[in-house]
Amino acid sequence: MSRRTGGSAIQQSLPYLLLVVIGALLYFLMPEQLPLFSRIAIMAIFVMSLDLVVGYAGLATLGHAALFGTGAYAAGLAALHLAPDPLLGVVIGAAAGALVAFLSGLFILRYQGLTFLMLSIAISQILGNLASKLRGWTGGDDGLTGFSNSAVLGFARFDLYGKTAFVYSGIVMLLCLFVMRRLMGSPFGLSCVGIHQNRLRMAAIGTDIPGQLLKLYVFAGFFAGIAGALSAQTNQIVGLDSLGFELSAEALVMLVLGGAGTLYGAIAGAAIFMLIHHVASTLNPYHWLFIIGGLLVLVVLVPRERLVGHLGRRLSPLLSTGRAGVAVKGSVRP
């Protein structure tokens, strides 16, 4: 293996190592906050799945919670009626999310723009109403409860302190990040990016645009279903809010905060939003959204290259890395 190839492999593995180091520090230094960090990891998976649709394919949606909630209910029902194995629940949740994405995508992906946006909301509302009516299965407004999880891989049992849930969710998040990066770096992923950038040109060279977008939407449903299954397993309850419009809107806000088109940005946006939500809602549970609104205004009005460049100039003397600077590009990348 050449020196350049070895250096590239090390460079690609650095973000994963950094996430592992951050996770280890959080595990040992802030053990009382592990349930919060578990929710951040789960939401990061959900926002990354949304990034596939919005950031890479350019499809604006506010109904992504339909895929998340379907995975959550599927995992809860599987634990209640089939087996309490968490890994089986994740597989069933992922399959359920992918199935709903496939069935709904066959219809809504025929449209673009505002029509697609409204249809995605309609799908989420239909599933939410259906879950409310099927009280015998879903618990209705009271939520789906009464299920439990067995030990992960037969030895790691879920505890009251959230240690197992944190490690379990973190590992699944890293695996999802790895698979999604490989997916979007493949010819298939690059073709979806090309559709986002110039749909007419991609059609002219013979790209099956509806087919490619449907595949990507199914992949997004697969990962959103995983996030929903993890949420059901760690909380041991599934409510109607898991299918609601508010969850879809919050995920989109997280994506905007971190930056669409970069999976790492989706993780950062989820962490920023959840931490601000936790701290600000503790201080003032009625007005914490003002802070989120201010951050959104800052992100929208100040170009990301200018903001990152300014922070880099401020931090470079402290870090003393010896670098002359880092060029930040706005292109979509996995």
Candidates 275, 292, 252; CA nearest to 48 is: 252
Helix axes 65-81, 245-258, angle to 10 degrees: 120
Q: With 0-12 CB in 10 A as exposed, 13-18 as middle and 19+ as buried, what is 49?
A: buried
Task: State which H helix or E strand residue 101 sits in.
Answer: helix 86-108
Predicted pLDDT of residue 37: 93
Q: For the segment 226-241, what is each residue's pLDDT rounded down to a tens digit?
A: 999 999 999 888 999 9
Q: With 0-12 CB in 10 A as exposed, 13-18 as middle and 19+ as buried, what is 266?
A: buried
Could you list the beta-strand ranges (E) of the chain: none
pLDDT tens, per residue, the chain with 334 residues: 445 545 566 777 788 888 999 999 999 998 889 999 999 999 999 999 999 999 899 898 999 999 999 999 999 999 988 888 999 999 999 999 999 999 999 999 988 888 999 999 999 999 999 999 988 888 888 888 888 888 888 777 887 778 889 999 999 999 999 999 999 989 999 999 999 888 888 888 888 889 999 999 999 999 999 999 999 999 888 999 999 888 999 899 899 888 888 889 899 989 988 888 888 777 777 777 777 777 777 766 766 656 555 555 655 554 444 444 434 344 444 4
- The DSSP output letter for 157 is -
pTM score, two decimals? Answer: 0.86
What distance lies between CA 298 and its chain's CA centroid?
A: 22
Note whether 227 and 94 are within 8 A (CB).
Answer: no
d(CA 272, CA 262): 15
- Bridge partners (DSSP) of residue 152 are 156
- The DSSP output letter for 40 is H
C-alpha distances in Å from residue 144, one per residue of 96, 97, 128, 235? 16, 17, 13, 11
Predicted pLDDT of residue 162: 82
List CB contacts of 211: < 8 A, sequence separation 6 or more. none
List CB contacts of 305: < 8 A, sequence separation 6 or more. 328, 329, 330
Predicted pLDDT of residue 326: 39
